[in-house]
Copies of this chain bind each other. A is one copy, B any other.
Amino acid sequence: MKEGFLLVISGPAGTGKGTVCNALLEKDKDIMFSVSSTTRLPREGEVDGVNYNFITKEIFEKMVEADKFLEHAYVHTNYYGTSEESVMKGVADGKVVLLEIDVQGALQVKEKHPEVVTIFLLPPSMEELERRIVDRNTETEEEINKRMENAYKEISLVSKYDYYVVNDDLDIAINEIESIVKAEKLRVKRNPKIEDYILEKGGN
């Protein structure tokens, strides 16, 4: 029985984490998306248990106290977090569990579970990153500057990650992440029984 693993895809806002993760889930049915928990209200069309687990602030805070989260953050008056139990159940079932989180969250997870596979999604350049954020046309100049400032800080943390993937061409980026997933599945340390498997088949 193969062990699964937790795959963390992270990177500054505007590098295209969401697009990359959606394309990856679409292509590789063996990858399972980890549903985060949040205290914010569902938006139009969002489904409880699919997009997020929508829970109350009281429950969230109790879970924080009981150390039930792999990582959590407080963003714009709402909590967001990844329940350790749900992720680790998928991993124990042999699944690759995909977690799309910000840089701070990713480093929290890596510290708790060093065996987690972390990928830092990089923009092709800082110029291109700014262009993408500006093109979204959803932020004020002040917000854009703040995001760029954060991006500089976050990229300096790339050394704490296992892998990097530059998101220039989406197909190439997806292909690179698929190679990482395939290689990690072939790690001897994730398949402690591989030796017995081969030897026993010969014993028949």
Expressed in whole angstroms, the Cα–Cα distance for A204 and B126 within the complex equals 9
Expressed in whole angstroms, the Cα–Cα distance for A188 and B188 within the complex equals 21
Write the nearest CB–CB distance from A124 to chain B, whole angstroms.
7
Write the nearest CB–CB distance from A144 to chain B, whole angstroms.
14
Give the interface size class of chain A.
35 or more
List of B residues within 8 angstroms of A203 by Cβ? 126
Interface presence of A164 (CB below 8 A) = yes
Instruction: Tell me whether A204 and B127 are in contact (CB under 8 A).
Output: yes
Instruction: Tell me whether B201 and A127 are in contact (CB under 8 A).
Output: yes
Q: A127's closest neighbor in chain B, by CB?
A: B202
The residue that A126 contacts in the complex, of B125, B158, B161, B199, with Cβ under 8 A, is B199
Instruction: Tell me whether B180 and A163 are in contact (CB under 8 A).
Output: no
List of B residues within 8 angstroms of A127 by Cβ? 201-202, 204
Of the A-B pairs whose beta carbons lie under 8 Å apart in the complex, a sample of 6, sorted by A's number, is A127-B201, A159-B192, A164-B186, A165-B186, A166-B198, A179-B179
